[in-house]
Amino acid sequence: MIIVMKAGAAKKDRDVVLKSIRELGYKPHIIHGETRDVIGAIGGDHGKTALQRLETLHGVEQVLPILQPYKLASKEIKKEASLIRISDNVVIGGTQVVVMAGPCSVESEAQIIESALAVKKAGAHVLRGGAFKPRTSPYSFQGLEEEGLKLLAKARDLTGLPIVTEVIEPETAELVAEYADILQIGARNSQNFALLKKVGQLQRPVLLKRGMSMTIQEFLMSAEYIMSEGNQDVILCERGIRTFETATRNTLDLSAIPVLKGKTHLPVVIDPSHGTGNHHYVAPMCYASVAAGADGLIIEVHPDPEHASSDGAQSLRPEKFEEMMAKLRLFAEVDGRTL
């Protein structure tokens, strides 16, 4: 921590700061500047929160943290990229661009089977589909729940595609983990710490979506919650942040890809469907994501978008998805990767 004193702060104010630093188990080190003093507090990070509070002391201008608050998620701890195994032939974080695709919600056996066959045919590696749905309105369709999980499992049996589906509360997390290959944490639950701890205790890879107004640092702190409970298999998913722009549902932050790649060893996946909210914009954002280095994509595909029970406007039809996959493969190859 760096404590910046105000210009012309009194010596007695500075002495109180020095004393407080020592009381917290740190060693103070003063730099006398031309207009003000700056004090470094040397020590571990046991007392960082306490040091931050020195900002309330008289004569203190600001307290600047110099360390990142996450550890397990950090590249400082683990330099090489984490490879997360999803199934026998699907590993995310390496040279394979992993595509997860399927409908927003599981609606019926016919719908999920048709979707699974279609996305498999186009080359997807994982089937997505929601059984428990967190909806903004209590009056919207809330998902088929366990019945939906069973239908997903049937689709997996038929196609061999592992499945990713959302967990919305600690209570049903174990139930979902019985069926799912990847547990998804939605954007609205990205700081539901009770839920993060719960999935941290389960033996399943977690796809953690970034919250709508979550900074990269907070995103990594949420990953850290899961990892600190023992589960290291966290896949980070950028799905658009909230801005003033209304032409898209969210603003897809693709610079999050290189930023995260610089800070963490965890794989990064992009959700262009929620990120844009409009099926017209999905394919270009898929290409851009892979070109920017994303480890994977999660895409909404629905056999009949006009009759989807949620998010129809942002779902691709199977034929469009197939077309997109063909071109995406070429972009992956330029980057020395496979699809």
Site for a second copy in 6-25 (CB under 8 A): 7-8, 20
Asked if 323 touches a second copy (CB under 8 A), the answer is no
Out of 10, 110, 158, 330, point to the residue binding a second copy (CB under 8 A).
330
Question: What's the one-letter identity of residue 209?
Answer: K
Out of 15, 76, 147, 157, point to the residue binding a second copy (CB under 8 A).
76
Asked if 88 touches a second copy (CB under 8 A), the answer is no
> What number of other Cβ atoms are within 10 A of residue 109's Cβ?
13
Out of 15, 19, 25, 33, point to the residue binding a second copy (CB under 8 A).
33
Using CB under 8 A as the binding rule, the residues of this chain from 158 to 217 that contact a second copy are 168-171, 188-189, 191-195, 197, 212-213, 215-217
Burial annotation 299-319 (CB, 10 A radius, 16+ → b, else e): bbbbbebeebbbbbebbbbbe
User: Where are the alpha helices (H) located in the chain, listed in sequence order?
Assistant: 11-23, 48-52, 109-122, 146-159, 173-179, 193-200, 216-228, 256-263, 272-276, 279-291, 318-334
Out of 146, 253, 322, 323, point to the residue binding a second copy (CB under 8 A).
253
Q: C-beta of 12: minimal distance to a second copy in Å? A: 16
**Residue 132 or 207 with smaller CB distance to a second copy:** 132
Q: Give the CA distances from residue 253 to residues 6, 211, 331, in Å, rounded to whole numbers and listed in that order.
A: 37, 12, 19
Using CB under 8 A as the binding rule, the residues of this chain from 302 to 321 that contact a second copy are 305-310, 312-313, 315
β-bridge pairing 268-270 and 234-238: parallel
Asked if 82 touches a second copy (CB under 8 A), the answer is no
Using CB under 8 A as the binding rule, the residues of this chain from 102 to 141 that contact a second copy are 134-141
Is the CB of residue 99 less than 8 Å from the CB of residue 123? yes
